Structure 1
């Protein structure tokens, strides 16, 4: 039948087969079929979420609360002028405890003392209970 001349000596020098019906697979796709797969779907996202840092909401002292109330009253008196201001406030995180402090600049549209929020002219609604600081040229001139 077949002679055994050694290890693959009968085919070692034959030309590489190339199909005339199918195109050759790109090297990137060939390599991808041997790459590892994610056995635990979502594991990387969970690790990233766990490692993401959040800030705790700071409880303001009575003096800081009184200062914010005075600033709010000054702004209420000049509400018709739509004063420019910068508000620093706490935004709770949707996925874990804590959150982040955000600073937003804009013009004041209104303050609703009953529902406790500030509305800027761009439509941003900020809960008064989450406000840490308010800055404005109008307030600087008063203090």
Structure 2
């Protein structure tokens, strides 16, 4: 036995006594489905929600820009024009701030549509498509009806 390792010989014949026996099937327990068997070996997230937290932290928000007096006055004039022509259901474009629900800041969004209602009590504009814009967050208003105010 020159060149053969004695341990290799033992290893190759280690299961000779049981290798050809039939596979055991339990009479007490039902056989597990292959998909369930595979699932027990799949990786798992040890820190549930950790990736979501990292993604949320990395998400950027913009700061709310405080308007100067000139800009506030200009928007006030446009609001009066909008109220004057409200019965015509004018189409306008509004850029406004949407505060973020989870962290400081938010995003500036532009929406175009026809005004359904000007709610002066709750200080908001309601569009025909259901969009609601709070007046304190309006940054800019544009449209044909404002042509002579700019």
Distance 1:70 1:19 in 2: 84
Tell me: CA distance 1:17–1:83, structure 2 relative to 1, closer, same or farther (3 Å): same
Normalised by the length of structure 1, the TM-score is: 0.77
SS state at 1:63 partner: helix
Q: Which residue of 1 aligns with 2:23?
A: 17
Instruction: Give unmatched runs, 5+ long, in structure 1.
Output: none
Alignment partner for residue 66 of structure 2, among 37, 59, 66?
59
Aligned ranges 1:63-78 → 2 under 5 Å: 63-78=70-85
Q: Which residue of 1 aligns with 2:93?
A: 86
Q: Which residue of 1 aligns with 2:117?
A: 110
| Alignment coverage as a number of residue pairs | 138
Distance 1:103 1:91 in 2: 10
Q: Which residue of 2 aligns with 1:126?
A: 133
Q: Which residue of 2 aligns with 1:47?
A: 54
Q: CA deviation at 1:78?
A: 0.7
Q: CA deviation at 1:127?
A: 1.3
Q: Which residue of 1 aligns with 2:15?
A: 8
Distance 1:119 1:6 in 2: 82
Q: Which moved more, 1:45-54 or 1:79-88?
A: 45-54
> What does the per-residue CA deviation read over 1:34-71, in whole Å, with 9 as the maximum and x for residues that have no partner?
22322323222222221222111112233222221222
Structural RMSD (CA)? 2.8
Normalised by the length of structure 2, the TM-score is: 0.74
Q: CA deviation at 1:23?
A: 5.3
Tell me: CA distance 1:66–1:142, structure 2 relative to 1, closer, same or farther (3 Å): closer
Q: CA deviation at 1:114?
A: 5.1
Q: CA deviation at 1:20?
A: 9.1
